[in-house]
Copies of this chain bind each other. A is one copy, B any other.
Amino acid sequence: MTSKFFSERNLRFLLYEVFDVISLTRYDTYKEYDGKTFDMVLKAAMELAEGLLWPIFQEMDKNPPELADNQIKVHPSVRKFLEECGQGGWIGPGMPFEWGGQQLPQMITHACEFIFAAANYSASVYPGLTSGAAHLILTFGNEEMKKTYLPKMFSGKWQGTMALTEPEAGSSLSDITTEAEPTDKGWYKIRGQKIFISAGDHNAVENVVHLMLAKIKGAPAGVKGISLFVVPKKRMEEKGQLVLNDVVTSGIFHKLGYRGSPIAQLSIGDNDDCRGYLVGEPHQGLFHMFQMMNEARIGVGIGAAAIASAAYYAALDYSKKRLQGRKLSTKNPTAPQVPIIEHPDVKRMLLFQRSIVEGSLALLMQCGKYADLAGVLIGEEKEKNEFLLDLLTPVAKSYPSEMGLLSISQGLQCLGGSGYCDDYPLEQHYRDARIHPIHEGTTGIHGLDLLGRKVMMKGGKAYKLYLEEVQETLREAEKLEELQSYTPKLKESLEMLQKVTAHLMEVGRKETPELFLADATLYLEFFGIVSVAWQWLVQAMVVVKAMKKSPDGAEANFYAGKFFAFRFFFEYELPKMAGLAKRLMNSDGLTVEIKPEFFSD
């Protein structure tokens, strides 16, 4: 098995050459950093990934968590990993120095998340969830809460979770029934059921801190009645001792993949003794939670691209070593067999993977850059970056998730029968990655979010800003002769996007919401293709400029390969928009119209 699961060269390309992360160091927040210190952070992440995470990638899958005596037991290395995360500053690495964070820009933390997830996605989820939960407490919690929870969480001793889903409320969060009854002691009594809670309980930590959605008794129906609570597994009594808080792990789910991470079912307050602590304002819970959800969505995109990266390098390694067949033009059957990477169809499968992995990662880095700039800029510029991040979040979550599956499947295909067997990691990547179109909002939900909310919000402001961004790239790219046969293709696609969007807006104005949003999932796919094509053009500009300096050896190969992957995306993936546009322009209501009983047989 190859030991390569990501490309350091590509990460450096994106961070330093394309998105110029060092330019952030001119702002106060990041002034402590420079290229050297960023490098040290990346190096530390790689060491942890290579030394601890990658070696147990298959082992954690083969020895999944088990529930025994009301507690979930996980692989022993999880504890070690979380301790290392605590010591190395990998939990909440973007948090402020004053809370013990590393105050890193998101571009860098995204890169580190990518490295961890490529090495071992299941393991990477534990610190990721704690980071998001801690960030919520930091943003909306009171001082006491911060002091009680944050140091423990940042040290890796306490696990954070997001506890949203219930048996009868998954995609429809407004239907949660977990109840919070106010007491005169400042805390609430919590009662309910939660399912599908990632890292919802395990023995690698001393405590689990659930960031939980519940409804305060008498709250309005729907999303407007949802509040956010901290509900720890063990609560801290006045004297500082931890006592059980009536949060019982009532089940564990057995999953297709992503098996190193336990997914728990929780029974809360069965003995009327569960205390929850309100975070932020009452009835603003879902709004608050969106901070963590949006971070988690970008995190899913990163995880999806990361698994696809690991699969790609496994497929590439095999394709270079495996001898099979001859060139089609070789007629002599006694000529030696060639490595399968010599076959155009195998190169096509590899280029497909590379174009998905590196295109997705570029889009995620672009989102990181918007987030970083939103954090340091003010006024209109800040707002612009926030809008762009908001608009692109469903795309950056869903495109890598959906296309990652196809990418990994092509990786598996490169290995033929061996890809189907567990002597190679492909089959696990294939299983692990299938979670991504589901968790943190299914692809369908993100389609509704993009078309029904994001594209429309504030009179289409974010959408217009997006078009300007892509047009700006096109203007820059048009100046480079080497790109002149490619820019028209993206231009045409962008026009297609505008045409389709205008058509759908018209349907939205005139027809029912059902008809307007019937093909929202396809619109999301459509939007994803043009966005990733844009990111490939952004990369291609850097490549063209770099090639002019006549690099040699590995550098020349890197840039040459990049340019092929860019071309591949434009020649093989971008044309898919044509078929989607055809469908999207035809709002015939087919799926609205068909009655459930027509599926009866």
Instruction: List chain A positions with a Cβ less than 8 A from chain B.
Output: 7, 9-10, 165, 168-172, 174-175, 195-196, 221-224, 253-258, 316, 320, 323-329, 333-334, 337, 339, 341-351, 354, 405, 409, 412-413, 416-417, 419-423, 427, 430-431, 434-435, 437-439, 442-444, 447-448, 452, 512-514, 517-521, 554, 557-558, 560-561, 564, 567-568, 571-572, 575-580, 582-583, 586, 588, 590-601
Which residues of the other chain, B, contact A600 by a CB distance below 8 angstroms?
554, 557-558, 561
Beta-carbon contact of B438 and A221 below 8 Å: no
Choose among B10, B416, B423, B582 the residue that contacts A170 (Cβ–Cβ < 8 A).
Answer: B416
* Chain A to chain B contacts (Cβ below 8 Å), 28 pairs: A168-B323, A170-B416, A172-B325, A172-B337, A174-B333, A195-B417, A221-B334, A223-B333, A253-B420, A254-B422, A256-B422, A256-B427, A256-B430, A256-B431, A258-B420, A316-B599, A345-B448, A347-B594, A347-B599, A409-B434, A412-B434, A413-B437, A417-B438, A417-B439, A560-B598, A571-B586, A576-B579, A577-B579
**Given that A337-B172, A417-B196 are known contacts, is A561 also in contact with B351, CB under 8 Å in the complex?**
no
**Given that A325-B171, A575-B579 are known contacts, is A348 also in contact with B420, CB under 8 Å in the complex?**
no
Beta-carbon contact of B345 and A601 below 8 Å: no
Please report the C-alpha to C-alpha distance between residue A172 and residue B431 in the assembled complex, in whole angstroms: 29
Beta-carbon contact of A596 and B341 below 8 Å: yes
Beta-carbon contact of A568 and B554 below 8 Å: no
Please report the C-alpha to C-alpha distance between residue A447 and residue B328 in the assembled complex, in whole angstroms: 13
Which residues of the other chain, B, contact A341 by a CB distance below 8 angstroms?
596, 599
**Given that A345-B521, A596-B342 are known contacts, is A327 also in contact with B514, CB under 8 Å in the complex?**
yes
Shortest Cβ distance from residue A213 to the other chain B in the assembled complex, whole angstroms: 15
Beta-carbon contact of B342 and A591 below 8 Å: no
Give me the 7 closest cross-chain CB pairs, A-B, nearest first.
A222-B333, A561-B598, A328-B513, A575-B582, A256-B427, A172-B325, A575-B579
Counting chain B CB atoms within 10 Å of each CB, the highest count among A257, A351, A594 belongs to: A594
Which residues of the other chain, B, contact A580 by a CB distance below 8 angstroms?
575
Q: With A258-B420, A344-B518 given, can you name 15 additional A-B contacts, CB distance below 8 Å?
A: A172-B324, A221-B333, A254-B421, A256-B430, A316-B599, A345-B447, A347-B594, A412-B434, A427-B434, A557-B597, A557-B598, A568-B590, A571-B583, A576-B576, A576-B579
Which residues of the other chain, B, contact A557 by a CB distance below 8 angstroms?
597-598, 600-601
Which residues of the other chain, B, contact A434 by a CB distance below 8 angstroms?
409, 412, 420, 427, 430
Q: Which residue of B lies closest to A174 (CB)?
A: B333
Beta-carbon contact of B594 and A561 below 8 Å: yes
Shortest Cβ distance from residue A459 to the other chain B in the assembled complex, whole angstroms: 21
Q: Which residue of B lies closest to A346 (CB)?
A: B444
Number of identical monomers bound together in the oligomeric complex: 2
**Given that A255-B421, A435-B420 are known contacts, is A591 also in contact with B344, CB under 8 Å in the complex?**
yes
Please report the C-alpha to C-alpha distance between residue A601 and residue B560 in the assembled complex, in whole angstroms: 11
Q: Which residue of B lies closest to A589 (CB)?
A: B344
Which residues of the other chain, B, contact A517 by a CB distance below 8 angstroms?
328, 344-345
Which residues of the other chain, B, contact A592 by a CB distance below 8 angstroms?
344, 347
Beta-carbon contact of B254 and A599 below 8 Å: no
Choose among B174, B438, B599 the residue that contacts A420 (Cβ–Cβ < 8 A).
Answer: B438
Counting chain B CB atoms within 10 Å of each CB, the highest count among A327, A413, A521, A588 belongs to: A413
Choose among B347, B513, B601 the residue that contacts A329 (Cβ–Cβ < 8 A).
Answer: B513
Q: Which residue of B lies closest to A555 (CB)?
A: B601
Beta-carbon contact of B421 and A253 below 8 Å: yes
Which residues of the other chain, B, contact A348 by a CB distance below 8 angstroms?
518-519, 521, 591
**Given that A347-B594, A557-B601, A583-B571 are known contacts, is A168 also in contact with B514, CB under 8 Å in the complex?**
no
Which residues of the other chain, B, contact A10 by a CB distance below 8 angstroms?
601
Q: Which residue of B lies closest to A320 (CB)?
A: B596
Shortest Cβ distance from residue A185 to the other chain B in the assembled complex, whole angstroms: 31
Please report the C-alpha to C-alpha distance between residue A15 and residue B196 in the assembled complex, in whole angstroms: 44
**Given that A348-B519, A438-B416, A557-B601 are known contacts, is A572 also in contact with B583, CB under 8 Å in the complex?**
yes
Which residues of the other chain, B, contact A558 by a CB distance below 8 angstroms?
600-601
Shortest Cβ distance from residue A408 to the other chain B in the assembled complex, whole angstroms: 11
Shortest Cβ distance from residue A542 to the other chain B in the assembled complex, whole angstroms: 15
Please report the C-alpha to C-alpha distance between residue A328 and residue B554 in the assembled complex, in whole angstroms: 54
Which residues of the other chain, B, contact A427 by a CB distance below 8 angstroms?
255-256, 434
Please report the C-alpha to C-alpha distance between residue A563 and residue B242 in the assembled complex, in whole angstroms: 63
Please report the C-alpha to C-alpha distance between residue A423 and residue B561 in the assembled complex, in whole angstroms: 44
Q: Which residue of B lies closest to A568 (CB)?
A: B590
Which residues of the other chain, B, contact A171 by a CB distance below 8 angstroms?
324-325, 416
Which residues of the other chain, B, contact A350 by a CB distance below 8 angstroms?
599
Please report the C-alpha to C-alpha distance between residue A334 and residue B324 in the assembled complex, in whole angstroms: 63
Beta-carbon contact of B417 and A165 below 8 Å: yes
Beta-carbon contact of A351 and B582 below 8 Å: no
Q: Which residue of B lies closest to A415 (CB)?
A: B438
Which residues of the other chain, B, contact A452 by a CB distance below 8 angstroms?
328
**Given that A354-B599, A421-B254 are known contacts, is A590 also in contact with B564, CB under 8 Å in the complex?**
yes
Which residues of the other chain, B, contact A431 by a CB distance below 8 angstroms?
256, 431
